[in-house]
Structure 1
Amino acid sequence: MGRILAIDYGTKRTGLAVTDPMQIIASGLTTVETKELITYLKTYVDTEGVEKFVVGEPKQMDNTASESEVYIQKFLEKMVKEFPNIPIVRVDERFTSKMAFQTMIDSGLKKKQRQNKALVDEISATLILQSYLASNF
């Protein structure tokens, strides 16, 4: 059984989260500059074995696609070319950034630490992955 890797895609930074090999626990992995993302993913997939990608799907409150979906679609086209044998699943990511910020507050992080946008992206990816895992059990 391979890992599931979640992606919270952003135009500048992209948060990543991953499951354990048994696909039970979702953990934050890192945040990568988006321009380096494909290179990072190639290395990670080669060394860790990824069974599936879960990519956040930003939606508006009325269920229509968010403005950032245009960029995500271009990224997904690259993903399909680079990783043709790894399925990609989309998961609604509404409110994940707000939930990530609240998680940071609840865990007692200081204000300075909560301003770390890379950490917010990584936590958001973890929440996307947890949502996917919960919906598939």
Structure 2
Amino acid sequence: MRIIAIDYGTKRTGIAVTDPLQIIASGLCTVNTPELLPFLQKYTATEPIEAFVIGEPKRMNNEASDVEVQIQKFIQKLQEAFPTIPIHRYDERFTSKLAFKAMIDSGLKKKQRQNKALIDEISATIILQEFLSGRK
């Protein structure tokens, strides 16, 4: 069964997923946030999911970020839609910076690095990979 990571944003949400053996995290896509729940319902209809991992944005002083209110509302809807699938939170403080660095390191051109949807997807992948590493 797979694990899905969600890098929730008010406009766009990055999604990453593990392989069925939960060894490797890969970027899946970025969806417009209003379409997130329908996307997940469609995806889980064809792929068995063990858990959701949702990024937890915090400020440097450990306070919750402004988007946390919307994330909590989304988590409520997610729990209602998938009552049997556990939801984990993961500190995502540096994932956008790490995603941007990964894009530079992989040789993406400046125009490609400005693609915010790609940054969101890579951020979700980093959240998921770090979550997997923490479980070992």
Q: Secondary structure of the equivalent of 1:101?
A: helix
Whether 2:5 is the aligned partner of 1:6: answer: yes
Using the size of structure 2 for normalisation, the TM-score is: 0.99
Deviations along 1:36-82, whole A, 9 cap, x unmatched?
00000001011011110000000111111111101100100100100
Percent of aligned positions with the same letter in both sequences? 68
In the alignment, what sits opposite 1:89?
Answer: 88
Equivalent residue number for residue 77 of structure 1: 76
Aligned to 1:59, what secondary structure does the other structure show?
A: coil
Partner residue, 2:31: 32
Name the residue aligned to 1:47. 46
Equivalent residues, number:
136
* Other-structure match for 2:127: 128
Is the partner of 2:79 in helix, strand or coil?
A: helix
Unmatched tracts of structure 2, length 5 or more:
none
Gaps spanning 5+ residues in structure 1: where?
none
